[in-house]
């Protein structure tokens, strides 16, 4: 009887030990065999070193763990990550299971990022997957700008060395020396000019002061008459607007047409067409007209002197008398 009790005790101890061993292994894996849990899935093209029993967190709080990792059965090379969450965890179905670095050593974990849907995920759903850039990628992002700047610096140094090599050439040195000498002469000339300018200003200090006073007076007047100047500018603007709105183009066109007609008249006169043209171009008519004008002048003068010659009258039926101008008097 005692032997049986001893064997029973040994059996119970063995069972308890095995149970504790199983529980301990699952505990180390993050599995809670006593609590309720729910399985979810996420499919990744690269898990970046994620392992089973890695924690699953929401805002830094561990709410589950990765239970299994295996290749997708369709032989696409994608990896399925199975993880369990506590039974009381509910989250939108469009949430994202993101693999990230949980510490500076690069230990991986899954961060559950809530979506914005009003519907909750169900047990066994496959969530959206994402992978945070690893430490290597982050270092590359930080180092890449430095690398580009280093390359630019090396290129600049190369350009400077090329310039220095060119300057150190004998011909270039001589040319540079000549340029420096010319520059020195220029500076000397400028210095002499400044000395002369100082002398002139010193000698004409009173005149310069008067000029400055006049300038100040002008600026003061401009400031005091600012309103009037503004009105003048506004009037000028109004005039310019009126000109712009007026039918100036039509007026110019009419003037051009009138000038064309006047030019045609001048051409006709020059060709001897019309009375004026004949008068200006026919010499004989001009001479006859001149002679007739002279005769008319003489006739009028003679009529003024001897009006009785041109007045015909009769008294009591007497004989009428008339007078004419002789041809000799017309000549």
Q: How far is CA 8 from CA 5, 12, 14, 62, 95, in A?
A: 5, 6, 10, 41, 52
- For residue range 66-96, list pLDDT tens digits in order: 999 999 999 999 999 999 998 888 999 899 9
**Is the pLDDT reported for residue 176 higher than 80?**
no
> What share of the chain has pLDDT > 90, as a percent?
17
Say yes or no: 2 and 52 in one domain: no
Residue 311, domain member (yes or no) = no
Q: What is the band of 248 on the pLDDT scale with cuts at 50, 70, 90?
A: low
Does 253 fall in a domain?
A: no
Phi, psi (rounded to 5 degrees) for 269? -65, -40
The CATH number of the domain where 44 resides is what?
Answer: 2.40.30
In this structure, the answer to whether residues 63 and 88 fall within a common structural domain is yes
**Do both 46 and 75 map to the same domain?**
yes
pLDDT at res. 329: 46
Number of compact structural domains in the chain: 2
**Residues above pLDDT 70, as percent of the chain:** 74
Q: 56 pLDDT exceeds 50?
A: yes
pLDDT of residue 79: 94
Selected residue with higher pLDDT from 309 and 29: 309
Say if residue 48 is in the same domain as residue 96.
yes
Supply the pLDDT for residue 36. Answer: 45
| Average of per-residue pLDDT across 243-265 | 73
pLDDT at residue 44 in the model: 94
276 has pLDDT over 70: no
Provide the pLDDT confidence category of residue 27 given band limits of 50, 70 and 90. Answer: low
- Residue 5: inside a domain, yes or no? yes
pLDDT at 193 over 90: no
**Residue 287 lies inside a defined structural domain of this protein:** no
* Domain of residue 126, residue span: 36-132
71 and 12 in one domain? no
pLDDT in tens, 36-45: 458 999 999 9
pLDDT at 184 over 60: yes
Mean pLDDT is lowest, of 39-48, 84-93, 122-131, 262-271, for 262-271
- 288 assigned to some structural domain: no
The residue among 132, 158, 182 that closes a domain is 132
Domain end residue (candidates: 109, 132, 155): 132
Residues 216-225 pLDDT 10s: 888 888 888 8
More confident residue, 181 or 239: 181
More confident residue, 177 or 184: 184
What confidence score (pLDDT) does residue 277 get? 65
Mean pLDDT over residues 129-154, rounded? 76
Please check whether residue 248 lies inside any domain of the structure: no
Domain's final residue, options 67, 100, 132: 132
Given this model, what pLDDT does residue 170 score? 67
Q: Is residue 51 part of a domain?
A: yes
Tell me what pLDDT residue 32 has: 55
Q: Please check the confidence at residue 177 and state whether its pLDDT lies above 90.
A: no
Structural domain includes residue 44: yes
């Amino acid at each position: 009887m005692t032997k049986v009790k001893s064997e029973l005790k040994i059996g119970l101890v063995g069972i308890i030990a095995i149970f504790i061993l199983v529980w301990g292994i699952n505990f180390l894996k993050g599995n809670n065999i006593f609590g309720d849990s729910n399985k979810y899935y996420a499919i990744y093209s690269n898990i970046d070193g994620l392992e089973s029993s890695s924690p699953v967190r929401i805002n830094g709080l561990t709410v589950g763990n990765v239970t299994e990792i295996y290749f997708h059965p369709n032989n696409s090379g994608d990896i399925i990550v199975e993880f369990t969450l506590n039974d009381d965890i509910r989250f939108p179905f469009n949430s994202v299971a993101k693999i990230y670095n949980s510490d500076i050593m690069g230990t991986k974990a899954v961060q559950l990022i809530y979506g914005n849907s009003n519907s909750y995920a169900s047990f066994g759903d496959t969530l959206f997957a994402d992978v945070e850039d690893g430490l290597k990628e982050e270092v590359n992002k930080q180092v890449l700008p430095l690398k580009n700047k280093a390359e630019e610096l090396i290129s600049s140094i190369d350009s400077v060395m090329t310039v220095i090599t060119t300057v150190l050439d004998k011909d270039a040195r001589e040319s540079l020396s000549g340029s420096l000498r010319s520059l020195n002469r220029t500076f000397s000339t400028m210095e002499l000019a400044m000395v002369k300018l100082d002398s002139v200003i010193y000698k004409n200090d009173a005149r310069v002061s008067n000029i400055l006073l006049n300038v100040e007076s002008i600026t003061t007047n401009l400031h005091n008459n600012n309103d009037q100047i503004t009105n003048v500018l506004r009037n000028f603007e109004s005039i310019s607007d009126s000109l712009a709105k007026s039918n100036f183009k039509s007026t110019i066109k009419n003037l051009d047409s009138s000038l064309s007609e006047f030019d045609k008249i001048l051409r006709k006169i020059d060709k001897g067409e019309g009375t004026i043209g004949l008068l200006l171009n026919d010499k004989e008519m001009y001479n006859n007209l001149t002679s007739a004008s002279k005769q008319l002048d003489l006739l009028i003068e003679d009529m003024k002197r001897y009006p009785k010659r041109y007045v015909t009258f009769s008294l009591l039926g007497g004989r009428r008398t008339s007078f004419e101008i002789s041809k000799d008097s017309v000549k």
